[in-house]
Amino acid sequence: MKKPNILFLMTDQQRWDALGCAAGWVRTPNLDRIAAEGVRFSYCVTTTPICIPARVTLATGRYPHNNAVWKNIEYTLPPDAPTWMRAVRDAGYRTSVFGKTHLHPHEGDLREREDLLHAWGLDDVDEIGGPRASATVMSHMTAMWEAKGLLEAYREDYRERFANKPHVARASTLPLADYADVYIGQRAKRYLAEYRRDEPWCCWVSFGGPHEPWDAPEPYASMYDPADMPPPVPRPRDDHPRPRGWLDYYMERGTPRFDPGDQAAMRANYAGNVTLIDDQIGEILAVIEARGELDNTVIAFTSDHGEMNGDWDLIYKMNFLDGALRVPLIVRTPETAAGAGGWVNDSPAENSDVGPTLAELAGAELNHRQFAKSLAPALAQRDTRHREDAVSEFRQEFALTDGKWKLATNREGEAYLLFDLREDPAETRNLAGSAEHRDIADAMRLRLFERIAATQLEAPSEDAAEWTPKVG
């Protein structure tokens, strides 16, 4: 049989619950359709809750403790780095990317670095920076904004936001047709409509939204009533002593000053951006269907990390709470669409598992040591448990969750977050440091350290320093 085409849909900063079929507070009929024809992995976590490390891990299948990319730093993925994209290309696919990769610094002119993306395994490229970076970097998109006289107003809007209230929710200065997520959707749509090559295609559509700022354009900016948005999870107070970690520092230094109604307005604008992206996905699906190829197309969807959106009185990401940690994950194959799908797998998954999944479904070989795990067995068998637990890493801290318990350790290896997710799914009581739960914390720490020990590179490169946590 002819190899399936591959459509990899990715968003930036989309929470796990910002999906119609997951929680219901945002409308995503096209993603819901993909889930109904595939398998939705309801407990997927990001391997690291910040952009660059998450994307490096997704590309290579290697954790931050393998590649030493622990936070957003000036980092360029080496041209010869092993990636699932190159493996798919080597298997006979014509590969493409439209949107954000963030696998190299967002500075200067992105068009001058297309050879780097080719080296990673991407043949046809139209790369943009993220929403913030697009105020400074040049790309095909920002050059178009400049030619239309839109770029300076965009820059001024960003300067004002971050000088006054970074979390303000108001419509973009850009017209809907020129908004970044529309640009990406339309470029991918045109590419697929005009595709005439003999090779099967693998198209990565990497939207920059719903990443902050909260600037969905009209009519999406006013599509949702703030009063209808789910309330944020309140920040709990500690009721016993415990070790401290990055989240404590972040809450002390990074808690914004909310005015009444800010969190609801943020969530409504965010929901509008998610629906905008879903509409673009719908147009892409319509093109594939018109080509007669939808029945032979693999579709995967995930995000790099979540967005707190007011939970615990926080915005952005950079922590191990569910708002930042959990992301959507859906995989749809020709087989699942033909009747073998439409169900939910609730075992743990990591978003980097997309890479080896797409490689396996493309008939490609990943010949490098990596630690992401193909979801293909869980697509073929309904009761398959994909992982026993999932790991996330940030700033030399680690988190482990099995869907029942979640533990996070600080740089000294001490447990400073512990949640009983069955009794407290909203994470409103931190049990770390509790004498009553010491055995649970110790058992989870042991599992975590065993996972880290089992995922070391045999021969790390010079710029891929290994990391072993202190056991305290």
Determine the structural domain holding residue 211 and report its residue range. Answer: 5-388
Chain length of the chain: 472
Contacts (Cβ under 8 Å, ≥6 apart) of 62: 56, 370, 371, 457, 464
Distance, in Å, from the CA atom of 422 to the CA atom of 146, rounded to the nearest integer, reads 52
* 63 inside domain: yes
What is the pTM for the complete model shown? Answer: 0.96
Q: Using an 8 Å Cβ cutoff, are 46 and 242 in contact? A: no
Beta strands in 242-396 (DSSP E): 297-303, 326-327, 329-332, 343-350, 390-394
Distance, in Å, from the CA atom of 154 to the CA atom of 163, rounded to the nearest integer, reads 14
Contacts (Cβ under 8 Å, ≥6 apart) of 315: 166, 167, 212, 256, 266, 307, 308, 309
Q: What is the pLDDT of residue 30?
A: 98
* 17 inside domain: yes
* 107 inside domain: yes
* 177 inside domain: yes
Q: What is the pLDDT of residue 468?
A: 53
Q: How far is CA 270 from CA 168, 225, 304, 313, in A?
A: 11, 11, 16, 16
Q: Using an 8 Å Cβ cutoff, are 30 and 19 in contact? A: no
Contacts (Cβ under 8 Å, ≥6 apart) of 399: 45, 320, 325, 391, 392, 393, 406, 407, 408, 409, 417, 448
Distance, in Å, from the CA atom of 318 to the CA atom of 102, rounded to the nearest integer, reads 17
* 191 inside domain: yes
Q: What is the pLDDT of residue 340?
A: 82
CATH code of residue 16: 3.40.720.10
* 450 inside domain: no
Beta strands in 319-455 (DSSP E): 326-327, 329-332, 343-350, 390-394, 397-401, 405-409, 415-420
Distance, in Å, from the CA atom of 266 to the CA atom of 13, rounded to the nearest integer, reads 14
Q: What is the pLDDT of residue 72?
A: 85
* 469 inside domain: no
Q: What is the pLDDT of residue 74?
A: 86
Q: What angle do CA 237, 444, 471 make, to 5 degrees?
A: 90
Q: What is the pLDDT of residue 471?
A: 44
Q: What is the pLDDT of residue 464?
A: 47
Mean pLDDT of successive 10-residue stretches along the chain, which has 472 residues: 93 98 97 98 97 96 94 91 98 98 95 97 97 96 98 97 96 98 98 97 98 98 98 94 96 94 98 98 98 97 98 97 98 94 96 98 96 97 94 97 98 97 97 97 97 84 49 42
* 464 inside domain: no
Number of compact structural domains in the chain = 1
Question: Structure tokens of 123?
Answer: 């043949």
Q: What angle do CA 99, 100, 105 make, to 5 degrees?
A: 140
